[in-house]
Amino acid sequence: MSFDVERIRRDFPILATKMRERPLAYLDTAASAQKPKAVIDAISDFYSSHYANIHRGVYQLSAEATRRYDAVRKRVAQFIGARDPREIVFVRNATEAINLVARSWGEAQIGKGDEIVVTTMEHHANIVPWQMLAARKEARLRVASIHEDGSLDVAQLESLLGPRTRLLAFTHVSNVLGTINPVAEITAMARARGITTLVDGAQGVPHGPVDVASLGCDFYAFSGHKLFGPSGAGVLWGRHAILDAMPPFLGGGDMIERVSFKGTTYARAPERFEAGTPDIASVIGLGAAIDYLEGIGMANIAAWEHALLVHATEALSKVPGLRIIGTAKEKAAVVAFVLDGVHPHDIGTVLDGEGIAIRAGHHCAQPLMEHLGLPATARASFAFYNTPAEIDRLVAALEKTRDLFA
């Protein structure tokens, strides 16, 4: 495959820095992605030359900032195959997107005895808001299980969908196991039973083309910072008819039609859900990130990352005492692992000494860890700016770690 990774790496200033006097090997993109210069420059340029509050001023600068902000809404809609930019709600991150649905849609739609189905592999962001909602409403949270290889037990999930199920919330890609779930197949099961679906796309959208129309879900949530954009801007996509029927979440400026002490009427979606001044510059930066990614091509990104995954899986499997956690057939470039006799935090510390950044811990997925019977794992995650040579450094450093602790 012709993929000029060295050229791409030059687009990311931080990748040229040193850590512990070694070239930084950044293998923690699943936690947050590094930013290309195009994104950094877009933010700087916006603050330097175009900044004003949006949806307010009649003056040219504000009108221009508003135009740029709304253009990103169109850009995001295009990027994820949404039919209508009004289906894009800007939020801070995937967590806020999911909480918005729980607080607004959930408050109106979930009643006593209703059931919400999630899966064992969810991030806390796609568990806790539903637990909180279930507690408020005396509803019940049910949990679909996983197979030994980390793939979802779709048959067992289907058996949980009953007459009281109102919502099925599940992740597109697991941030620990790397498992890519068969979203369209699962949403079809839910749709046939009139069940609303929310897909946590935090790890899905950065790793390949996403088309919400073919995924067939009702809501799709993601964070800009994992999509090589700035932190502070995320997206909730929802079908417009559903969004437009949802009650407001936060009240304040910009989300209203008319306010009076006799009563207030609300703007339509998406403005109804965007009270107050948003993180305007981060939204602009997110637009630049999407332009950058599309310049490379999401399919090319997916192919390069898959090659890295294959290389990493092969190389890591040869490290004695190392066990990869999550070996589903459909997998993104995320490799969690444990090493006999070495605590994951110690792995992380030794690797840090080598200039290699990986994650160690429970990855905000404690119920999954409990299911796996592990307190923690180490995790390396790869992006299109990573190289096979960095993986080889990871493997060598793990061999060293093993020797240190032997």
Tokens 């060295």: give the residue: 6
329-355 burial string, b = 16+ CB within 10 Å, else e? eebbbbbbbbbeebebebbbebbeebb
Q: Which stretch binds ligand PMP (CB under 6 A): 45-53, 79-87, 93-101, 329-337?
A: 93-101
**How near is the Cβ of 167 to ligand PMP at its closest, in Å?**
16
Q: What is the dihedral of CA 78, 79, 85, 90, to 10 degrees?
A: -170
Residue 315-354 contact track with ligand PMP, rule CB under 6 A, x = bound? ----------------------------------------
Inter-residue contact 115 to 162 (CB < 8 Å): yes
Distance (Å, whole) CA 285 – CA 39: 5
Please give the residues from 197 up to 236 whose contact with ligand PMP meets the rule CB under 6 A. Answer: 200, 202-203, 223, 225
Q: How many CB atoms lie within 10 A of CB 391?
A: 23
One DSSP character per residue, 140-157 reads: EEEEE-B-TTS-B-HHHH
Considering the complex, state which of residue 102 and residue 342 has its C-beta at the smaller distance from ligand PMP: 102
Distances (CA, A) of 68 to 54, 75, 238: 9, 10, 22
Choose among 141, 173, 164, 136: nearest CA to 326.
173
Q: How far is the CB of 219 from ligand PMP (least distance, A)?
A: 13
Residue 171 near ligand PMP by CB under 6 A: yes
Q: Between residues 28 and 390, which has the closer beta carbon with respect to ligand PMP?
A: 28
Q: Is the peptide bond before 270 cis (omega within 30 degrees of 0)?
A: yes
Q: Is 28 in the site for ligand PMP (CB under 6 A)?
A: no
Total residues contacting ligand PMP (rule CB under 6 A)? 14
What string marks each residue from 111 to 130 as x (binds ligand PMP by CB under 6 A) or -?
A: ------------x-xx----
Candidates 99-107, 196-204, 306-314, 328-336; binding stretch for ligand PMP (CB under 6 A):
196-204
Query: Which lies closer to ligand PMP via its Cβ, residue 234 or residue 355?
Result: 234
The CA distance from 62 to 296, in Å, is 32
Part in contact with ligand PMP (CB under 6 A); list of ranges 46-54, 91-99, 137-145, 156-164? 91-99
- Between 204 and 287, CB nearer to ligand PMP: 204
In the block, tokens 């602009």 appear at: 284
Note if 217 is an active site residue: no
Which active-site residues does the annotation give? 364
Which residues are at the interface with ligand PMP (CB under 6 A)?
A: 93-95, 123, 125-126, 171, 175, 200, 202-203, 223, 225, 364
